[in-house]
Chains A and B, each alone.
Chain A
Amino acid sequence: MFSKYIEDQSSDAIELINKGYKIINVENLELLSNILAQFKNYLKEQNNIVVKDLSELHNHLDIKNLNSIRHGFYEKLNKESSFSKTYLELAFKTINDVVGSELAANRSVNFSIQIPNDTTSKLGIHSDCFSGESEFQINLWVPLTDARDTNSMFIFNPDFSRDVINNISKFEKLGIENLLNEHEDQYEFVNLSFGEALVFTPTCLHGNVINTTQKTRISFNCRYKNLFSPYCKNEENEKKLGTFYIPITPKAATIIGLKNKIKY
């Protein structure tokens, strides 16, 4: 199905469709370095932590302070209106290629710190659509440190993920966490260096495990979707345009249309 459309896609897009993810070079390395410097400065000014190599951050903080540090920087970055639009510059061409040019993005860019052996920050195996997020979105995941093995995230392949999701009621009491042990050949940990970015479809099952490496991983993630692709219809669900998602790059025709007062 859709093969005639798939033929027209770029090689990056075809890889994304087939594999569920694509690793790219960050398009604006200066911006990423600037964000890194901002975080180091925040650690120094607000938390009295001076650290040269962020992968050693765990040696400088108490786990009890981990969330306040994480949340403090998250709030600082997202105070800037539409940081999700600035963050897009890290992979602007790729996102335009695989999602489109008229975009909606998460209102806030998420920020994650995974220190070795931390049991409080584990995000178990899931698909973003489990909680009502759009199936039409792409996640741009960018680390501030190298991300390797268990300090990185894992992702299952699209076919296996679809099989599980389409039969999710079978897993209600069993859960899906066991899939990690039982289907080791169906997923992989993504290995990225600083300066690389991961573009993936969060319809694929993904998550992280307890970081058993000796290195801290620090990363951002933000989801981008076509402004006009579907949103969750459940009244009570907050994953909607205007709340969870905001429009960031409407084009001229859309702006003209929005100004028009004709009722249909």
Chain B
Amino acid sequence: MKYLNGYVTVRRFKGFALPVPVQNRLLREYANKLDMVYVLPQCEMVTNKNYMMLFETLDKMKENSDLGMCSVFMFPEDQKKAMDIMEIIIKKNITLHFVFNESSVKPNEIKEYYINSNIDTILGIQNKDSFISLFE
């Protein structure tokens, strides 16, 4: 039997704000579709920029297991912290599932996926003015 460990948050992520029960429902449906058993998640702290529950979830997960969340944007924006998290994912060979995109990401692809997803933030392109400034 395969298990999908959940991760949910009460915080806004890249403009999205989704009630926890809705996140759980999406993750549970996703798990059912893949014939996996959904594991009750720890909800992330309300405190901004604190990722204690994500670290703890990863710490408790076994090697070669699966972690589901709504979006890669639930990872820290702080790239150093995000890299620390991704190192754990790679070390434990954890496959990521992002329900918004219906995508499964292998551990060796996660860094590239994170960077590509956050390319606008990394390049500082969040509005028209900052985009134009890149060409000046």
Q: Is A173 engaged at the interface, CB distance under 8 Å to the other chain? A: yes
Interface residues in A128-151 by Cβ distance below 8 A to B read 129-132
- Give Cα distance in the complex from A64 to B1, angstroms: 9
Do the beta carbons of A177 and B60 come within 8 Å of each other? Answer: yes
Q: Is A241 engaged at the interface, CB distance under 8 Å to the other chain? A: no
- Give Cα distance in the complex from A122 to B84, angstroms: 25
Do the beta carbons of B42 and A124 come within 8 Å of each other? Answer: yes
Give the size range of B's interface with the partner: 20 to 34
Do the beta carbons of A122 and B40 come within 8 Å of each other? Answer: yes
Chain A residues near B115 (CB-CB < 8 A): none
Chain A residues near B20 (CB-CB < 8 A): 131, 238
- Residue from A64, A176, A234 in contact with B37 in the complex, judged by beta carbons closer than 8 Å: A64
- Give Cα distance in the complex from A237 to B18, angstroms: 8
Chain A residues near B3 (CB-CB < 8 A): 119-120
Do the beta carbons of A172 and B10 come within 8 Å of each other? Answer: no
Chain A interface SS verdict (over half):
loop
CB distance from B5 to the nearest CB of A (A): 9
Q: Which residue of A lies closest to B60 (CB)?
A: A177
- Residue from A120, A131, A238, A243 in contact with B45 in the complex, judged by beta carbons closer than 8 Å: A131
Q: With A120-B40, A121-B40, A131-B20 as given contacts, are A172 and B11 in contact (CB-CB < 8 Å)?
A: no
Q: Which residue of A lies closest to B3 (CB)?
A: A120
- Residue from A67, A132, A175, A232 in contact with B52 in the complex, judged by beta carbons closer than 8 Å: A175
Do the beta carbons of B10 and A132 come within 8 Å of each other? Answer: yes
Q: With A168-B50, A236-B11, A237-B10 as given contacts, are A131 and B60 in contact (CB-CB < 8 Å)?
A: no
- Give Cα distance in the complex from A237 to B46, angstroms: 8
Q: Which residue of B lies closest to A71 (CB)?
A: B28
Chain A residues near B45 (CB-CB < 8 A): 130-131, 168
Give the size range of A's interface with the partner: 20 to 34
Chain A residues near B17 (CB-CB < 8 A): 235-236
CB distance from A154 to the nearest CB of B (A): 16
Q: Is A260 engaged at the interface, CB distance under 8 Å to the other chain? A: no
Q: Which residue of B lies closest to A232 (CB)?
A: B46
Q: Which residue of A lies closest to B59 (CB)?
A: A175
Where the two chains meet, the residues of B that have a C-beta atom closer than 8 Å to any C-beta of A are 1, 3, 10-12, 17, 19-20, 28, 37-40, 42-47, 50-53, 55-56, 59-60, 84
Where the two chains meet, the residues of A that have a C-beta atom closer than 8 Å to any C-beta of B are 63-64, 67, 119-124, 126, 129-132, 168-169, 171-177, 232, 234-239, 243
Q: List 28 A-B contacts (CB under 8 A).
A: A63-B37, A64-B1, A67-B38, A120-B3, A120-B37, A122-B40, A123-B40, A124-B56, A124-B60, A130-B47, A131-B10, A131-B20, A131-B44, A132-B46, A172-B50, A173-B52, A173-B55, A175-B55, A176-B56, A177-B59, A177-B60, A232-B46, A234-B10, A235-B12, A236-B11, A238-B10, A238-B20, A239-B10
